[in-house]
Structure 1
Amino acid sequence: MEWKNIFRGLVMGISDLIPGVSGGTIAVVLGIYDRLLEAISGFFSREWKRYIGFLLPLGMGIGLALLLLSRLIQYLLDEHFMPTQFFFIGLLLGVIPYLVKRADAKHNFTFKHWIVLLIAGALIASMAFTNSDKSGEPMTSLSLLSAVGLFFSGWLASMAMLLPGISGSFILLLLGVYPTAIHALSTLNIPFIAIIGAGVAVGFIVSSKFIRYLLAQFPYMMYAIIIGLILGSTFVIFPGFANNLVTMVISIITFALGLTLTALFSTKNKD
């Protein structure tokens, strides 16, 4: 068992609670993104035992983060929104040099790669102008129609979780399901958690193989898309600038902390 994956899972779980911050991006920062896709795909094959040691501790960490920290994350977003958002902007921007170096963009990116990068970034950045609001009222009762909607929302969110630069929570936010998901986690509403979780699980099974195939067949184009998605995500979660000096200073500190953490992980995993 790779028990250090519990810590990695905690970090990924925290990021999955934040609209605009991708768990896939955090997996890249932690240096386990390729192994994560391989393990999820391989777990549903005859060689599934090979991947238990990697996935089980990681899943435990993610689950603990979702269950134990959902209220804390909601508190930070409600009471300290700007410093929290700047911290995650630091995390996002800090991974860009690592990805550029990993793709060797200077030698491998052509004009079409840069165009695709800009288009991907613009598409995600445009989501900043949507009217989605994470403070909406959560669902408190289930019907067949709402259950189906929650299941497919979890499916779409899981695809976003695996792709660096797209936040699963932000997809839930766009679909109007984010308040329901956070409320279900913080109150341990088992039926809601089970339905959304089932959608997430099915999405992992399907999308992990597809994303892995794309990375294997079109690696530089996928890196261009991923870098564009990450850059665009920073516009989505950018909270503006504070009106008072104290909040602005704290936000600068949290931004620098995010950059530093990413730099440390990227340096550790650069090989």
Structure 2
Amino acid sequence: MATDVLKSRYWGIAARGLAMGAADVVPGVSGGTIAFITGIYQELLDSLSRIGPQSVKTLFGEGVVAAWRQVNGNFLLALFGGILVSVFSLAKLIGYLLQHYPIVVWGFFFGLILASVFPIVRRVPRWSWRCWLALLTGVLMAILVSEMRPTEIAATPYTLFFSGALAICAMILPGISGSFILLMIGIYPQVIKAVHEIQVAALGWFAGGAICGLLLFSRLLSWLMHRFPSVTLSFLVGILLGSLKIVWPWKLSVDTLPGADHDKLAPALSNVMPDEFAHVSGEPSFVLGAAGAALLAFLLVLLIEWVHGRNVSNISHRS
């Protein structure tokens, strides 16, 4: 019976990995958001933070099985297996949807991120002036990232390595998308091309950077979550709120806006209201489709939160 429960749990972890991978493919949506609203964020950070010198010592001193248990290996294998399957199988689908139905897709993720704020707010143990300062800092940080203009850099082993480290740090933070960071520094197309064409060398350098960044940053974030939970969660709420600017569905190029400042430091895209988007672009605004997608995402987050709450309650009753 216990074995069946464990198998069922790891299938659920793999499903969360699929959702995280799908989110990470989209420039603007973080897999960390999915991890948080599905209730595995803390376990993910804690499991990753255990990978280090102590686990290596356990490996050589007590064997593979003991080291695997120490780092929660089954959990990490199920989760990252789901992420990899999703990235390699859903990249084309996500790209197709973004190309043909961008406003509806962005509407869905806007609702997803907005709804994700509420479960995190409820988990803040105590609000203080430090929490409000951390929230404001998170908002400003996300807005600052959104104001970056896309650049272009060459895909060398060094740039791929450091891009992987930077992207994976962003991926862990709910609200800041690793793929959005890759897009801003100008290496996103090269990475997607490497995924599609299975360019082993490029993917190897990128993965190496991602692994190093993941192990270092997750350790820091796990320490902050345990030591300063209220302030850290407030900061994450701020990042989520600020990132709504990134995923606002209706955007126009700055050059197309009347009276726009064409300074080279201006952002490449500007958020506009749906009616202005339709007027300037001459394309449908798809307000109903985007609103429906946002509402669907909002309800989906509430459902996930409710299911997670029931599962936690059932486990506590059994124990």
Q: Fold conserved (TM > 0.5)?
A: yes
Matched, 1:25 2:17: no
Unmatched segments (≥5 aa) in structure 1: none
Matched, 1:251 2:290: yes
In the alignment, is the contact (CA less than 8 A) between 2:104 and 2:249 conserved in 1?
Answer: no
Unmatched segments (≥5 aa) in structure 2: 1-6, 59-65, 251-273, 313-319
In the alignment, is the contact (CA less than 8 A) between 1:117 and 1:227 conserved in 2?
Answer: yes
Matched, 1:211 2:226: no
Q: What's the counterpart of residue 244 of structure 2? A: 234
Q: Deviations over 1:111-169 (max 9, x none)?
A: 23213212320221233333227xx7x96xx6xxx211110110011111112222111
Q: What's the counterpart of residue 304 of structure 2? A: 265
In the alignment, is the contact (CA less than 8 A) between 2:30 and 2:173 conserved in 1?
Answer: yes
Q: What's the counterpart of residue 42 of structure 1? A: 50
Structure 1 residue identity aligned to 2:120 = L
The match for 2:143 among 125, 131, 142 is 125
More deviation, 202-211/222-231: 202-211
The match for 2:198 among 183, 188, 201 is 188
Q: What SS does structure 2 have at the residue aligned with 1:164?
A: coil
Distance 1:165 1:269, change over 3 A: same
CA distance in 1 between counterparts of 2:306 and 2:287 reads 28
The match for 1:169 among 167, 174, 179 is 179
How many residues were matched structurally? 260
Structure 2 residue identity aligned to 1:127 = V
CA distance in 2 between counterparts of 1:204 and 1:128 reads 22
Q: Deviations over 1:66-106 (max 9, x none)?
A: 111111111112221111111111111111111111114xx
Provide TM-score, normalisation by structure 1: 0.89
**How far did 1:268 drift?**
2.0
**How far did 1:193 drift?**
1.3
What's the C-alpha RMSD, in Å, of the aligned pairs? 1.9
Sequence identity of aligned pairs in percent?
33
The match for 1:81 among 81, 97, 102 is 102
Q: What's the counterpart of residue 169 of structure 2? A: 159
Q: What SS does structure 1 have at the residue aligned with 2:50?
A: helix
**How far did 1:110 drift?**
1.4
CA distance in 1 between counterparts of 2:94 and 2:191 reads 13
Using CA pairs under 8 Å that are at least 6 residues apart, name the structure with larger relative contact order, 1 or 2: 1
CA distance in 2 between counterparts of 1:179 and 1:110 reads 43
Distance 1:17 1:258, change over 3 A: same
In the alignment, is the contact (CA less than 8 A) between 1:43 and 1:49 conserved in 2?
Answer: no
**How far did 1:245 drift?**
6.2
Structure 1 residue identity aligned to 2:291 = I
In the alignment, is the contact (CA less than 8 A) between 1:157 and 1:172 conserved in 2?
Answer: yes
Q: What's the counterpart of residue 63 of structure 1? A: 84
Structure 2 residue identity aligned to 1:252 = A
Provide TM-score, normalisation by structure 2: 0.77
More deviation, 220-229/189-198: 189-198
Structure 1 residue identity aligned to 2:157 = A
CA distance in 2 between counterparts of 1:236 and 1:48 reads 40
In the alignment, is the contact (CA less than 8 A) between 2:111 and 2:297 conserved in 1?
Answer: yes
